[in-house]
Chains A and B, each alone.
Chain A
Amino acid sequence: MNIIATLGSASLIIAFSCTVFSLAASLIYFRTQINIFLSLARHSIIATAMLISFSLLVMAYALLSNDFSIAHVASVSSKNMEPWMKWASIYSGQSGSLLFWTWALSLFLAMFSLKTLPKIHWGAPHAIVVMALLLSAFLIPLIFFTSPFTVSTITPEDGRGLNPLLVDRGMLVHPPALLSGLVSTSIPFTLAMSALMSGRLDSSWIQHARSWALLSFLILSVGNFLGAWWAYTVLGWGGYWGWDPVENSAILPLLPIAAFLHSQTVQLRRGIFKGWNLSLVLAAFALAVFGTFNVRSGLVASVHSFAQSDIGPYFLGLLGVISFISIALLCLRWNSLKPDRDLDSLLSKETGLVLNTYILMAITLVILGGTLFPIFSELIQGVRITVGPPFFNETTGPLWIVLLIVMSIGIMLPWRKTTRNSILKRVSIPLIISITTAFFLFILGIRNYIVLLTLLSAEMVLLVTLREFFLGGKVQQSISDQPLFLSILKLFETNQHRYGGYLVHIGVALIAIAIISSYTFQAQTRQTMLPGESFNISGYQIKYEELFESKPGINGVSKEILAKVEIDGKRLIYPGQRLFTNFPNQPVAIVAIDGNPLRDVYVFLQGWTDEGMIELHVFVNPLIQLLWFGGIIYVVGAILAYTPSTRSQETVRHGKIDAR
């Protein structure tokens, strides 16, 4: 008997028993209304999290102690792996990633039980029922179908090692961030379900769901950015987003969450769009479960296919149940979701915010359609049709532009109502500046109207958002009599949510500029070269000096083939390929980047011969670093929006709602 495996399995089984007990206790509370049962149910959720955490620690121990009798350890780890890299072994492979998913879910639900549950007396038992059912739904496959603690009949001498694509430092943070982000959508979902089940359909659930949705938005965004960074620096194709089905699954829940964050302010202020807000968070969680199904179903081939297995149908069933219950509850409560009041005018911030959410949902539907179409075509026609990046670029591109335009106008609109003249007055200067810039770009030779429109609308967003900072700073300056710059910084103290959100908008505009510039003006070439030869691309001289190899001897790497490349006779870079002992047909690129804020010279070693001849694939990506810079601003903004400011904490303490 393997004690480690038994401990891990036993803790999962006891965790499952705790969720069943929690479910039973909350159902008894419904009948008896005796508070002790509610307390027991709540504490059982926390106990479940502790037990799953223990099983994760057991798995970490098994990996660190090279216990290859456990099948998961043998399949994703090896003796020569560095200890810190074994963190990635936990969530690589099917059963490991499911263990991580369930662990993250249990932690979020435990935090919710500790922090929020005591504040929602109207829906606490309903929330516990939802949480217990969710935990059970993920513990069942972990215990009965794909246990990470399964013991092999034969214990190998050494493990197979980590999937080569995961042998990267970025992999220590990207999958955990993304999986946690997907899982975190379960909290707004639990709150929405509690509201629907209890019939408490006013704004009570939103007051709590907002901060959890912001957290979800933040983690999902970080996960997606890290994924883009990983793709750019590891996959060697000069880009960061390939509309891979699993990439799509990661961005899909983010869109309704972003939509909810805009739409919920309208409900808090005006008591309208109640059904829409509920639908958005229910859709976000359903899409997160869809992502889990998509990665594990084996139905889609992807660079993320290391987690495939045959438990796809289970998740498909789970997705069906979640969607059915969500829709059924919404239909049952529809009559109670009537607006408290109507719009004062179509020319108002309310309209801008809601239009924003409509566009985000249209983008969600289009991406979902494109992601599902290959499976659908195979089911109907028996032929799998590939939906390539051009489809997604062409169909979502115009929608992103409309979104940017609505963002820029929406920021300028006041709540309740305004006049056309007032809008024109506010819009005129940013619009004139943006059109002038677009005109100059046209004269400079940019004739692609999509590029011009994107740059124009992104510049509009930048200008109107900076204007808001300037105007807010001016008001602050008149109160505090400080310099303008300090007054603008002070805005984050007085209204962190609002100005944090505006920073996110600035990040989005910068990202849009980076995407369209790097995509449209990218230069690339492929050259076969001998040592000493050189060529030019976009004004840069690329000279190949020599080919050499190194033998790191860790993390399953057998050797690294590296080319010494000189750029403009000054800077040296070393593109190469990493070869793995146990994965001879799966070399991984070592991408070399010579970067500055204006452009990246991105060099990938495509192939080589023993005689020293190499094939280099070189890209010049203009303004790509603006993407990462915009991403940092976006994330900082999201953190500021999430972190409650002193003022808003006081507002909550006094029982008021900070509706920003």
Chain B
Amino acid sequence: MHANLARNRLIHALIAICVFFLMQSTVFAQTTNNHEEQALSIEKQLLCPQCTNERLDICSIQICIDMRKEIREQLQNGRNSDEIIFYFQNRYGQRVLADLPRSGFNIVLFGWVLTSIALVTLGGGYTLFRLNQKTNIDRN
């Protein structure tokens, strides 16, 4: 009776240990996978500091290989995406940011975009409206 009880307890304990380790390994695998996905997501937000318009995730030159390695190290040390991107921005300047910040001198470029669209919309719209209005006046 006692022997059976002890055996059952042992089996339960072994199962519990196995489940614990399984859970731990799953958590570890998830963390690793999450880190890899996070690293890839960070790479896509950065550009190669030496090439033109080449994203970090697809660049093959040595500096980019080193940067990718550093991203993974920093993720393992508990830094988040924003901190890592900020770190590389401080190190290489704004040119490593794939997404152009909508601030500072860059406002000129976004202003150009808005002006271009406004110019075409208003200029084109006015021309069409005037051509159409003249027709209506003629009809009247």
Binding site for B on A (CB under 8 A): 236-239, 242-245, 272, 300-303, 339, 342-346, 351, 354-355, 358-359, 361-362, 365-366, 369-370, 373, 376-377, 380-381, 383-391, 395, 399, 524-526, 589, 606-607, 617
A527 to chain B, nearest CB (A): 10
Q: How far is A354 from B126 in the complex, measured between Cα atoms in Å?
A: 13
Chain A residues with Cβ below 8 Å from B93 are 383
CB neighbors of A among B47-63 (8 A)? 47, 51-55, 57-60
Contact, CB under 8 Å: A300 / B52:
yes
Contact, CB under 8 Å: A607 / B105:
no
Q: How far is A497 from B57 in the complex, measured between Cα atoms in Å?
A: 44
Q: How far is A395 from B60 in the complex, measured between Cα atoms in Å?
A: 28
Chain A residues with Cβ below 8 Å from B99 are 388, 390-391
Chain A residues with Cβ below 8 Å from B124 are 354-355, 358
Chain A residues with Cβ below 8 Å from B100 are 385-388, 390-391
Chain B residues with Cβ below 8 Å from A339 are 131
Q: What are 12 residue pairs bridging A and B, where the CB atoms are less than 8 Å apart in the complex?
A: A237-B55, A242-B53, A243-B53, A342-B134, A346-B128, A351-B128, A354-B124, A370-B109, A386-B47, A391-B109, A399-B117, A606-B60
Chain B residues with Cβ below 8 Å from A343 are 128, 131-132, 135
Dominant secondary structure at the B interface: helix
Contact, CB under 8 Å: B105 / A380:
yes
Q: How far is A526 from B121 in the complex, measured between Cα atoms in Å?
A: 45
Chain B residues with Cβ below 8 Å from A300 are 52
Indicate which residue in A388, A589, A606 contacts B53 across the interface (CB closer than 8 Å): A388
Chain B residues with Cβ below 8 Å from A399 are 117
Contact, CB under 8 Å: B53 / A244:
yes
Knowing that A373-B109, A384-B95, A389-B55 are A-B contacts, what are 13 other residue pairs whose CB atoms are under 8 Å apart, sorted by A's residue number?
A236-B58, A237-B58, A239-B58, A342-B132, A365-B116, A366-B116, A369-B113, A386-B52, A390-B98, A399-B117, A525-B40, A606-B60, A617-B58
Q: Is B94 an interface residue (CB 8 A)?
A: yes
Q: Smallest CB-CB separation from A387: which chain B residue?
A: B100
Most chain-A CB neighbours within 10 Å: which of B52, B96, B138? Answer: B52
Contact, CB under 8 Å: B54 / A237:
yes
**Taking A342-B138, A607-B65 as contacts, is the C-beta distance between A377 and B98 under 8 angstroms?**
no
Chain B residues with Cβ below 8 Å from A525 are 36, 40
3 nearest CB pairs, A to B = A237-B58, A365-B116, A358-B124
Q: Smallest CB-CB separation from A361: which chain B residue?
A: B120
Q: Is B42 an interface residue (CB 8 A)?
A: no
A230 to chain B, nearest CB (A): 16
Q: How far is A114 from B58 in the complex, measured between Cα atoms in Å?
A: 49
Contact, CB under 8 Å: B53 / A359:
no
Q: How far is A388 from B51 in the complex, measured between Cα atoms in Å?
A: 11
Q: How far is A607 from B93 in the complex, measured between Cα atoms in Å?
A: 28
A-contact bits for B85-104, CB 8 A (1 contact / 0 none) = 00000000111111110000
Q: Is B106 an interface residue (CB 8 A)?
A: yes
Q: How far is A245 from B52 in the complex, measured between Cα atoms in Å?
A: 8
Q: Is B112 an interface residue (CB 8 A)?
A: yes
Q: How far is A388 from B57 in the complex, measured between Cα atoms in Å?
A: 14
Q: How far is A359 from B135 in the complex, measured between Cα atoms in Å?
A: 25
Contact, CB under 8 Å: A346 / B53:
no
A14 to chain B, nearest CB (A): 40
Q: How far is A399 from B113 in the complex, measured between Cα atoms in Å?
A: 11
Binding site for A on B (CB under 8 A): 36, 40, 47, 51-55, 57-60, 65, 68, 93-100, 105-106, 108-109, 112-113, 116-117, 119-121, 124, 128-129, 131-132, 134-135, 138
Indicate which residue in B65, B96, B129, B131 contacts A272 across the interface (CB closer than 8 Å): B131
Contact, CB under 8 Å: A388 / B135:
no
Q: How far is A236 from B60 in the complex, measured between Cα atoms in Å?
A: 9
Indicate which residue in B116, B129, B132 contacts A369 across the interface (CB closer than 8 Å): B116
A418 to chain B, nearest CB (A): 14
Contact, CB under 8 Å: A342 / B131:
yes
Most chain-A CB neighbours within 10 Å: which of B36, B53, B112, B131? Answer: B53
Q: How far is A239 from B96 in the complex, measured between Cα atoms in Å?
A: 20
Indicate which residue in A272, A366, A383 contacts B113 across the interface (CB closer than 8 Å): A366
A135 to chain B, nearest CB (A): 33
Contact, CB under 8 Å: B135 / A344:
yes
Chain A residues with Cβ below 8 Å from B119 are 365
Contact, CB under 8 Å: B52 / A358:
no
Q: Smallest CB-CB separation from A376: which chain B residue?
A: B108
Chain B residues with Cβ below 8 Å from A388 are 47, 53, 55, 97-100
A436 to chain B, nearest CB (A): 31
Indicate which residue in B52, B59, B116, B135 contacts A302 across the interface (CB closer than 8 Å): B52
Chain B residues with Cβ below 8 Å from A344 are 135
A400 to chain B, nearest CB (A): 13
Contact, CB under 8 Å: A301 / B128:
no
Q: Smallest CB-CB separation from B36: which chain A residue?
A: A525
Chain A residues with Cβ below 8 Å from B65 are 607
Contact, CB under 8 Å: A365 / B120:
yes
Q: Smallest CB-CB separation from B111: which chain A residue?
A: A369
Q: How far is A237 from B68 in the complex, measured between Cα atoms in Å?
A: 15
Q: How far is A193 from B121 in the complex, measured between Cα atoms in Å?
A: 27
Q: Smallest CB-CB separation from A242: which chain B residue?
A: B53
Chain A residues with Cβ below 8 Å from B117 are 362, 366, 399
Most chain-B CB neighbours within 10 Å: which of A302, A339, A526, A589? Answer: A526
Q: How far is A370 from B55 in the complex, measured between Cα atoms in Å?
A: 17
Q: How far is A243 from B52 in the complex, measured between Cα atoms in Å?
A: 9
Most chain-A CB neighbours within 10 Å: which of B36, B109, B119? Answer: B109
Contact, CB under 8 Å: A238 / B58:
yes
Q: How far is A237 from B48 in the complex, measured between Cα atoms in Å?
A: 13
Contact, CB under 8 Å: B105 / A389:
no
Q: How far is A388 from B58 in the complex, measured between Cα atoms in Å?
A: 14
Chain A residues with Cβ below 8 Å from B96 are 386
Q: How far is A383 from B95 in the complex, measured between Cα atoms in Å?
A: 9
A367 to chain B, nearest CB (A): 10
Q: How far is A161 from B62 in the complex, measured between Cα atoms in Å?
A: 25
Q: How far is A343 from B132 in the complex, measured between Cα atoms in Å?
A: 5
A577 to chain B, nearest CB (A): 9
A656 to chain B, nearest CB (A): 26
B108 to chain A, nearest CB (A): 8
